[in-house]
């Protein structure tokens, strides 16, 4: 067992972990941050997407020890004082979720996209979401929600 220390959603945390502990398991089991979903364990679905030092990372592909000293952001850190952030509100308003399983990863991926590109085109959004799988929505409303979150007019997006 080795001690790992990192900042998660603005709070410093230290825990003993086995060297093989994935960041996703550390967050879910060690810190009870269960919004980081495990959908495939092969980095195909993106449901486990978190931010590590400001970059979107699939937490099932990274060991907790690799995050030593890092700033980690999870879906739980996106809202403030129980109030949804702009992205979460847009997903809610534009029905960018159905079952909700992929939503935390989609929101985290979107936050990284909008940080780097505040007004992405529809094509850029679709390309950026390639690493995230939604089995319910067909992506149309997710793209609409992301456009809305970026302050763009969503009426130009063709109906599904």
pLDDT number for residue 127: 96
Summarised one tens digit per residue, pLDDT across range 62-118 is: 999 999 999 999 999 999 998 999 999 999 999 998 898 999 999 999 999 999 999
What architecture (CATH level 2) is domain 2-76? Roll (3.10)
- What is the model's pTM? 0.93
| Range list of β-strands (E), the chain | 2-8, 11-17, 49-52, 55-58, 71-73
Higher pLDDT, 155 or 61: 61
Distance CA(153)–CA(99), nearest Å, equals 26
Distance CA(62)–CA(43), nearest Å, equals 10
Q: Which two tokens stand for residue 123?
A: 């094509």
pLDDT number for residue 93: 96
pLDDT number for residue 157: 78
pLDDT number for residue 112: 97
Q: Mean pLDDT check: name the lowest of 39-43, 143-147, 150-154.
A: 39-43
According to CATH, what is the number of the domain 86-149?
A: 1.10.150.120
CA neighbor of 39 nearest in space, from 133, 151, 116: 133
Q: Which two tokens stand for residue 77?
A: 């850190």
Summarised one tens digit per residue, pLDDT across range 21-70 is: 999 999 999 999 999 999 887 889 999 999 999 999 999 999 999 999 99
3-class DSSP assignment, residue 129: helix
- How do the domains of the chain map onto residue ranges? 2-76, 86-149
CA neighbor of 23 nearest in space, from 54, 75, 68, 53: 68
């Amino acid at each position: 067992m080795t001690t790992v220390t990192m900042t998660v959603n603005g709070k410093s945390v230290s825990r003993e972990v086995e060297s093989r502990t994935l960041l996703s398991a550390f967050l879910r089991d060690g810190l009870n941050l269960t919004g980081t979903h495990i959908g495939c364990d092969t980095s195909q679905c993106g449901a486990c997407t978190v931010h590590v030092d400001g970059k979107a990372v699939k937490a099932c592909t990274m060991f907790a020890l690799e995050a030593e000293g890092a700033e980690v952001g999870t879906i739980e850190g996106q809202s403030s004082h129980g109030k949804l952030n702009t992205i979460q509100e847009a997903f809610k308003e534009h029905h960018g979720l159905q079952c909700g399983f992929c939503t935390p990863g989609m929101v985290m991926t979107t936050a990284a996209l909008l940080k780097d590109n505040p007004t992405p085109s529809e094509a850029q959004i679709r390309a950026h979401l390639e690493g995230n799988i939604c089995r319910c929505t067909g992506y149309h409303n997710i793209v609409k929600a992301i456009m809305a979150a970026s302050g763009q007019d969503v009426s130009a997006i063709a109906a599904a």
